[in-house]
């Protein structure tokens, strides 16, 4: 069957949102990138997300053939994921009503567990094939969460398990994520498909560091360490700052940029903790807050190395974008990061989260020009496999299989 129109469900965060704070992150970039890739193949995409602002129109046509629908479900204001849970069924009912009245879609592709819940209800009500990408998994986050972080709600685990048992196709970004779905949720192997997302290589490409530094307001040529991501315990900013303190104590003329805002129930306290730590240790750290996704390319180009000591990552889109710009990545050897980074080729993978080990890896990159040059070249070459033009054909195969 030829696929002509797809419904994407992204209840908890809009692809129009600015990644880096709240619930906006790599998922937003993924949904938008995949939608535009599908449009390039002549397939129309309708994205359904929860309304967070009364001023937003019911439908925004991003480009011809790609639309974002704002669905009223709860207050028209940003809500935490926990506060959105009671409104999930309302959101589902209104999406189902829209799908009944809009031109026929061939399938529903849900993103994240809340949307998976909605997709399962849409499948039951309309008989539409249901494809799901979880992006993160509750059981895996529980295993890797920091001891003082908030536990995942039981309703998430139950919902994920039920959605996995009913979905026509479950798309994992890496083989590691597929293994997690099999091991922790008993997913049916025949329903699992592995397809990595892509990156917009026309935007994320190497460029002159000095020009990029001028654009982001960084003077001089001192080595620059970068952290980009939502500020929450899962992303490991605490490890990055402790590692940076060890580097700075070696009397290296080095600076650090932290780009991102508070996210999740622990985000604001984590942000305060990070700032307090930097102040107490007199670290040359500049907290920039979130920036538009299009602007992150200048940060990648300006930096000498990026740190990603995440405690869990299903994929690691920031690592792919950084490598596409020729920026070496020092990351925790965990989850998707172990697949998107080739150790000692495009970056350095570090076992565990000991700040000393991450500091040693960063210091190697900053102090060895030959190593830094080799990793930069390797990063550009390794990242070429992550391209939406390559991925979209595989996604279409999976969609056609689900419909068939």
Same domain, 240 and 366: yes
Same domain, 294 and 254: yes
Q: Is residue 397 included in any domain, yes or no?
A: yes
Q: How many domains does the chain have?
A: 2
Same domain, 252 and 295: yes
Q: Is residue 251 included in any domain, yes or no?
A: yes
Question: Which pLDDT tens digits describe the chain residue by residue (404 residues)?
Answer: 689 999 999 999 998 877 666 666 778 889 998 999 999 999 999 999 999 999 999 999 999 999 999 999 999 999 999 999 999 999 999 999 999 988 789 999 999 999 999 999 999 999 999 999 999 999 998 988 888 888 889 999 999 999 999 999 999 999 999 999 999 999 999 999 999 999 988 899 999 999 999 999 999 899 999 999 999 999 999 999 999 999 999 877 899 999 998 887 788 999 999 999 999 999 999 999 899 998 999 999 999 999 999 998 989 999 999 999 999 999 999 989 999 999 999 999 999 999 999 999 999 999 999 999 999 999 999 999 998 888 888 999 999 999 98
Same domain, 180 and 252: no
Same domain, 102 and 188: yes
Q: Rounded to two decimals, what is the model's pTM?
A: 0.90
The total of other beta-carbon atoms located within 10 Å of residue 363's CB is: 19
* Pick from 273, 236, 278: nearest CA to 257: 278
Q: Is residue 289 included in any domain, yes or no?
A: yes
Same domain, 194 and 284: no
CB 275, CB 107: distance < 8 Å: no
Q: Is residue 192 included in any domain, yes or no?
A: yes
Same domain, 97 and 242: no
CB 123, CB 129: distance < 8 Å: yes
Which DSSP string corresponds to 109-154? EEESHHHHHHHHHHHHHH---EEEE-SS-HHHHHHHS-TTSPPPPH
How many separate helices (H) and strands (E) can be counted in the chain? 16, 14
Q: Is residue 90 included in any domain, yes or no?
A: yes
- What's the CA gap between 286 and 288, in Å, rounded? 6
Q: Is residue 94 included in any domain, yes or no?
A: yes
Domain containing residue 130:
5-198+388-403
Same domain, 27 and 170: yes
Same domain, 70 and 145: yes
Same domain, 232 and 358: yes
- What's the CA gap between 226 and 55, in Å, rounded? 35
Q: Is residue 204 included in any domain, yes or no?
A: no
Q: Is residue 203 included in any domain, yes or no?
A: no
* Pick from 226, 213, 204, 197: nearest CA to 380: 204
User: Would residue 217 be called left, alpha or beta, if left means φ above 0 and alpha means ψ between -120 and 50 degrees?
Assistant: left
CATH code for position 185: 3.40.50.2000
CB 261, CB 374: distance < 8 Å: no
- Name beta bridge partners: 231: 262
Same domain, 176 and 292: no
Same domain, 377 and 395: no
CB 350, CB 333: distance < 8 Å: yes
- What's the CA gap between 126 and 121, in Å, rounded? 8
């Amino acid at each position: 069957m030829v696929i002509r129109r797809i419904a994407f469900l992204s209840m908890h965060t809009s692809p129009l949102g600015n990644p880096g704070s709240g619930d906006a992150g790599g998922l937003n970039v993924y949904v938008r990138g995949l939608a535009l890739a599908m449009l390039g193949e002549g397939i129309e995409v309708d994205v359904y997300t929860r309304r967070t602002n009364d001023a937003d129109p019911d439908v925004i046509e991003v480009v011809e053939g790609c639309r974002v629908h704002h669905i009223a479900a709860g207050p028209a204001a940003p809500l935490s994921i926990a506060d959105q849970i009671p409104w999930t069924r309302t959101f589902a009912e209104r999406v189902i009503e829209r799908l009944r009245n809009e031109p026929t879609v061939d399938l529903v592709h849900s993103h994240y567990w809340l949307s998976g819940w909605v997709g399962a209800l849409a499948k039951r009500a309309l008989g539409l094939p249901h494809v799901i990408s979880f992006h993160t998994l509750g059981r895996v986050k529980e295993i890797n969460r920091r001891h003082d972080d908030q536990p995942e709600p039981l309703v998430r685990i139950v919902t994920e398990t039920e959605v996995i048992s009913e979905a026509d196709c479950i798309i994992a970004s890496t083989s590691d994520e597929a293994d997690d779905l099999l091991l922790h949720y008993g997913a049916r192997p025949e329903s699992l498909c592995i397809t990595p997302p892509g990156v917009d290589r026309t935007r994320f490409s190497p460029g002159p560091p000095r020009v990029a530094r001028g654009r982001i307001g960084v003077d001089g040529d001192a080595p620059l360490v970068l952290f980009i991501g939502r500020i929450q315990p899962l992303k490991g900013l605490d490890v990055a700052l402790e590692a940076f303190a060890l580097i700075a104590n070696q009397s290296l003329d080095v600076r650090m940029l932290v780009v991102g805002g508070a996210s999740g129930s622990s985000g604001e306290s984590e942000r305060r903790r990070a700032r307090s730590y930097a102040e107490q240790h007199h670290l040359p750290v500049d907290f920039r807050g979130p920036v538009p996704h299009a602007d992150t390319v200048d940060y990648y180009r300006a930096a000498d190395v990026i740190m990603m000591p995440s405690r869990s990552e299903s994929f690691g889109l920031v690592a792919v974008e950084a490598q596409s710009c020729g920026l070496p990545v020092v990351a925790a050897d965990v989850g998707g990061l172990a697949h998107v980074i080739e150790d000692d080729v495009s970056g350095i993978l570090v076992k565990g989260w000991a700040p000393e080990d991450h500091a040693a890896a960063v210091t190697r990159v900053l102090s060895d020009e030959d190593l830094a040059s080799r990793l930069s070249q390797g990063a550009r070459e390794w990242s070429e496999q992550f391209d939406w033009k390559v991925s979209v054909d595989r996604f279409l195969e999976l969609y056609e299989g689900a419909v068939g």
